[in-house]
Amino acid sequence: MNIILSAIGGTIVLAIIGIAVGLFLSGIDRRIVARMQARIGPPLRQPFTDVKKLLTKQSIVPANAIPWLFNLMPIAALASSIAVLMYLPFGSLAPILGEAGDMILVLYLLIVPSLALVIGGFASGSPYATVGAQREMVSMIAYELPLAISVVIIAWRLMAANVADPFSFMTLMETSVWDVAGPLGIVGLLLLLFLFMWITPGELSKVPFDSPEAETELAGGILAEYSGRNLGLFSLAQAVKMVGIIAFGVIILLPWNLSPVFGMTGAGAAVIDLVFFFVKVIVVSILSVTVVRTMMARLRITQVVKVYWFVFGGIGIAAIILLMLDAFLMGGV
Amino acid sequence: MIGDLITGYGFWNPLIWIIVMATGLLFAWLIWRCGESGYDKGTEQTKPYLSGNDEPPKSDVHIRGGNMYWGFTHALKGYYDKLIPLHSGVVNDYLTWFVIGVIVIFVVVMVI
């Protein structure tokens, strides 16, 4: 009974926190992009204002659309983005549902918002949105390979070090993969960190991996027909997913907390670790999303596949080899 | 916990996931309900946006199943160019590939 109440209450609390942090991250992103382009940029609260305004605008359902599917997908995208947060630890705060799901589940849950976008795009019956939806599907196939490599090899390295439940987030809170890895393993983990920095913009359809939306080419592509509250909900889903994917990367590859450094315990430790966790999320967001999208142009969809499968896939395989060698040399296997 | 699925390494609880999704859907629906619902049905605004161009016949612009993964198949063209001719439609060919596959798996598992 307790876990059911935790699930319901936690979902509502984390939904509010996720939306607030996600929109705040979007505000930081837009502000820094503007400064890097020698513009002043919008205030940090601009994404909040945008969503508020979208909720007051007409939400047009195109004549060709399948209305119920078209309207349902933004709701499904936001709900599934919120669900991701339920399984993640934040700093030294254990995940609300840490015993009800692991890293593999989060991998699958991260796909759901993108799938909702794809279904919504196809359901809108617009040529631009249909092409965008098709591209989103191909992008998903592309970035899932390096993402899966990153997660599985980290769990494998923990398992090789005789750590029980290597896919559990509770395990990751207690044992950092950096602590069990030797010199070769650390090089492999640095490669995975680099990999994750490039998976994040793909997951979020940000430049250079924004071909599903491609404003200048497809007029918003997958979202071309969405307006008003439906577009507002997709914006919220994107914001929450941004928190989810970056937090996921931070948890598996930048797991350190500040409280042990200061010898803190109890509520103070939880607060300082939580603050430090969100600082890491902001820094990763700036490096992997903001800076990348400012300095690069959009890749074609075929280039997206080639980059993720051949370049990042190759880097992932190199990381696998290094971590396996490390495990053999350290005597774990 | 009731409903836990344990694979040996991974685990999840679909019942809890359903509760989370149901709560999330309700939360998202409430926000959606707060938004403006009206629009001018049957007017120009419900026509698909095509940069001011007339909408071509649907058969010309809809993506067919065979083109669903274009981008992926084009990026891996070299691979697919070799793979597609192997699909001859002859059962004997497929059985031969199956036997070759089994032998390769056997060698990998038993020898390596």
Contact (CB<8Å) B19/A141: no
Q: How many separate domains does chain B show?
A: 2
Looking at the predicted structure, is the pLDDT value of residue B23 above 80? yes
* Residue listed under structure tokens 């631009």: A128
Identify whether B95 is part of a domain: yes
Structure tokens given for A100: 């009800």
Which residues in chain A touch residue B76, judged by CB atoms under 8 angstroms apart? 305, 309
Contact (CB<8Å) A15/B24: yes
Contact (CB<8Å) A79/B28: yes
Which residues in chain A touch residue B31, judged by CB atoms under 8 angstroms apart? 55, 78, 229, 232-233, 236
Contact (CB<8Å) B72/A58: no
Q: How large is the ipTM?
A: 0.90
Instruction: Give the nearest partner residue to A3 out of B16, B38, B71, using CB atoms.
Output: B16
DSSP A136-182: HHHHHHHHHHHHHHHHHHHHHHHHHTT-SSTT-HHHHHH--HHHH--
**Amino acid B112: pLDDT:** 67
B1 to chain A, closest Cα gap in Å: 8
pTM, rounded to two decimals? 0.89
Looking at the predicted structure, is the pLDDT value of residue B101 above 90? yes
B108 to chain A, closest Cα gap in Å: 18
Identify whether B100 is part of a domain: yes
Which residues in chain B touch residue A59, judged by CB atoms under 8 angstroms apart? 35-37, 39
**Amino acid A288: pLDDT:** 94
SS (H, E, C) B19-77: HHHHHHHHHHHHHHHHCCCCCCCCCHHHCCCCCCCCCCCHHHHCCCHHHCCCCHHHHCH
Three-state DSSP at A101 gives strand
Identify whether B64 is part of a domain: no
B99 to chain A, closest Cα gap in Å: 28
| Long-range CB contacts for residues A8-13, cutoff 8 Å, separation at least 24 | A8/B19, A8/B23, A10/A86, A10/A96, A10/A97, A10/B20, A11/A82, A11/A83, A11/A86, A11/B20, A11/B23, A11/B24, A11/B27, A12/B23, A12/B27
User: How many inter-chain contacts (A to B, CB under 8 Å) are there?
Assistant: 183
Identify whether B75 is part of a domain: yes
**Amino acid A284: pLDDT:** 95
Range of the domain at B27: 5-34
Q: Tally Cβ neighbours within 10 Å of residue B78.
A: 8
User: B26 burial class (0-12, 13-18, 19+ CB within 10 angstroms)?
Assistant: middle
Contact (CB<8Å) B39/A64: no
Give the residue from chain A lying closest to B36, CA to CA.
A56
A159 to chain B, closest Cα gap in Å: 9
Give the residue from chain B lying closest to A165, CA to CA.
B9
Looking at the predicted structure, is the pLDDT value of residue B54 above 80? no
Which residues in chain B touch residue A11, judged by CB atoms under 8 angstroms apart? 20, 23-24, 27
Q: For residue range A55-95, what is the model confidence (pLDDT) as tens digits?
A: 999 888 888 888 999 999 999 999 999 999 999 999 889 89
Identify whether B55 is part of a domain: no
| Mean pLDDT in order along chain A per 10 residues (333 residues) | 85 95 95 93 94 92 88 95 94 88 92 93 86 89 91 91 89 89 93 93 90 77 87 95 95 91 85 93 95 90 90 94 90 64
B15 to chain A, closest Cα gap in Å: 9
| Backbone φ, ψ for residue B6 (5° rounding) | -120, 125
Q: For residue range A170-226, what is the model confidence (pLDDT) as tens digits?
A: 988 888 899 998 899 999 999 999 999 999 999 998 889 988 877 777 777 788 889
